[in-house]
Amino acid sequence: MKPIENGGPWLGPLGRDADVVVASRVRLARNLAGFPFTNRASTMQRREVVSMVRDRAQGASWGRMLGWVDLQECPAEQRTQMVERHLVSKQFAASDAPRAVGISADETLSVMVNEEDHLRIQAMYSGLRIDECFAAATAFDRGAESALDFAWHHRWGYLTACPTNVGCGIRVSVMLHLPALRLTSELDRVRRAAKDLHLALRGFHGEGSEPMGDFYQLSNQITLGMRDEEVLGELRDRIIPQVIRYERLARETYRSKAPAAARDRFIRAAALLTHSRLMQLDEAMKLLGRLRLGIASGLTEAIDSTLVHRLLLQVQPAHLALARPNDPMETLEQQAAARAALLRDALAPLRASIG
Amino acid sequence: MKCDQCDKPAVVHETVISGGVQMTVHLCAEHAVVQLNHVPAGAPIAELLAAHLTGQRHQPACGGCGMTLAEFRKHNLAGCSACFDALAPVIDQAIQRAQGGATAHCGRAPARRDDAEARHAYRARLLKDLEQAVAAERYEVAAQVRNALREVDGLPSGHQA
């Protein structure tokens, strides 16, 4: 995989609502007819599924843009790096069964083969760009269905291993930065409201992950009885704008009630990030989140959010290790030292600006 | 708790061992008789003995991948396309629970599919559901099932239900 500096969906244009929205993602779950689902398939069958999908994709205009990685032949660190970059799921990287992932050169499209379902087609873009994600994922899906038979049921639609994905198999997620809602203790209200609307609010790496740096993924839970467009429309037109409004209101309230505290929080984060000699992952994520809030609030113009997004990936363990192949990183302290050095270096313009 | 096989309350809760796997089944009185050779309380001793002598215990499983109800319940994952008919109505309930009560897909379908077989299986199931609903005098359910049947056959569904 290429170094993150060269681009990637996270580092694209920030677009509108970038003060709150980090990135958008659409994922489609599909299975091949005539094969047991991944959890019941034999090693032979799994191999067959991988080669069938890969071969058809490689020979066709709809799939030629994907470069394929065989996970069984991929070193652990690179697998982890793909997880950190949100290209594959944690479970997918950890399993030892035959599986593969196809990734487009710009990393906006990735197709996992033999995850919980035979195909997990996902498209990712920076900012609030749900429609572009859907268009990219659907283009692949339509191409694939011209060459492969997808498992389908007259009543349940697209069949998936888990009942939570049956129907249209779509999961739309938007990565949001919600520091003010947490600071003003409003996040639980948002979480409850989301649950009532059949949405899930999850951590930085999605299902089962902890919120880090106040980054959250909001995604739909219902995939049955709703058309793709309805799922997209509801999030795009109704729910996301509302969450953005709440977060902005909370930021405004916080700033007006405690302007000195808001500025102090930012300066402290900047000072720690630009001077520390050891930096653990949790702390780095937390401070980068505060930096992002400061940028969105106009407290600095020395750096922009794109740099913060890049650092959010670069501070992750596998990214750190792979970027410095000659540095020993056997202990957490060595890792923390490398992380601190990376941050000091990347945030030099900020250090100059805060004096 | 509901019966594994239908919507009636479960009255028999039994731990069985099948293929070396221990599992608990919950059944209503009627299904207990069919599935576990369970003899209702107060049955004559001869019947009790007969039940034990013939006691081949049956665990419904998917013909496509061998998934049993207990396995499905444990992991909440279907094993193949055939599970969606073989493990009904338990899988139906699991889907509806996960999907906020939604009962059927709407919207996009693959451009290329040969679902004659699936349609046939679904139709057979609906017929069985209809029969059961009529037998239980659940006429509202029967009307819904009949409408679904008409839709499968490409006929306009009636709206008197």
**Segment A51-98, tens digit of pLDDT:** 999 999 998 999 999 999 999 999 999 999 999 999 999 999 999 899
- ipTM of the complex in this document: 0.88
How far is the CA of A273 from the CAs of A288, A292, A311, A315, A353, in angstroms? Answer: 8, 12, 11, 12, 13
Chain B residue closest to A146 (CA)?
B112
- Would you mind telling me the total number of residues written for chain B in this entry? 161
List chain A residues with CB under 8 Å of B102.
Answer: 167, 222, 224-226
List chain A residues with CB under 8 Å of B94.
Answer: 163
Q: How far is CA A219 from the centre of its chain?
A: 12
pTM: 0.79
Q: Residue with structure tokens 């139906």?
A: B92
Q: What is the pLDDT of residue A3?
A: 60
Q: Read off the amino acid at residue A91.
A: Q
Q: Could A166 and B95 be called an inter-chain contact, meaning their C-beta atoms sit closer than 8 Å?
A: yes
Q: Could A36 and B114 be called an inter-chain contact, meaning their C-beta atoms sit closer than 8 Å?
A: no
Residue scoring higher pLDDT (B139 or A355): B139
A121 CB-near residues (< 8 Å, 6+ apart): A27, A28, A30, A109, A111, A137, A140, A141, A144
A316 touches chain B (CB under 8 A): no
Sign of the four-CA dihedral A266, A272, A275, A281: negative
The distance of A31 to chain B (nearest Cα, Å) reads 9
What are residue A216's DSSP bridge partners? A176
pLDDT (average), residues A273-278? 97
List chain B residues with CB under 8 Å of A149.
Answer: 110, 112-114
Looking at mean pLDDT, say which of A126-140, A316-330, B48-62 comes out highest: A126-140
Q: Residue with structure tokens 């890792």?
A: A335
Q: Measured between CB atoms, which of B66, B81, B111 is closest to A33?
A: B81
- Average pLDDT across chain A, whole number: 92
Q: What is the pLDDT of residue B160?
A: 41
Residue A13: pLDDT band by 50, 70, 90 thresholds?
confident
Q: What is the pLDDT of residue B96?
A: 94
Residue B123: pLDDT band by 50, 70, 90 thresholds?
confident
Question: Does pLDDT of B159 surpass 60?
Answer: no
Residue A271: pLDDT band by 50, 70, 90 thresholds?
very high
Calpha distance A247→A180 (Å, rounded): 6
- Reported as a single tens digit per residue, the pLDDT across A219-267 is 999 999 999 999 999 999 999 999 999 999 999 999 999 999 999 999 9
pLDDT (average), residues A6-18? 75
Residue scoring higher pLDDT (B36 or B140): B140
Q: Could B81 and A153 be called an inter-chain contact, meaning their C-beta atoms sit closer than 8 Å?
A: yes
B154 touches chain A (CB under 8 A): no
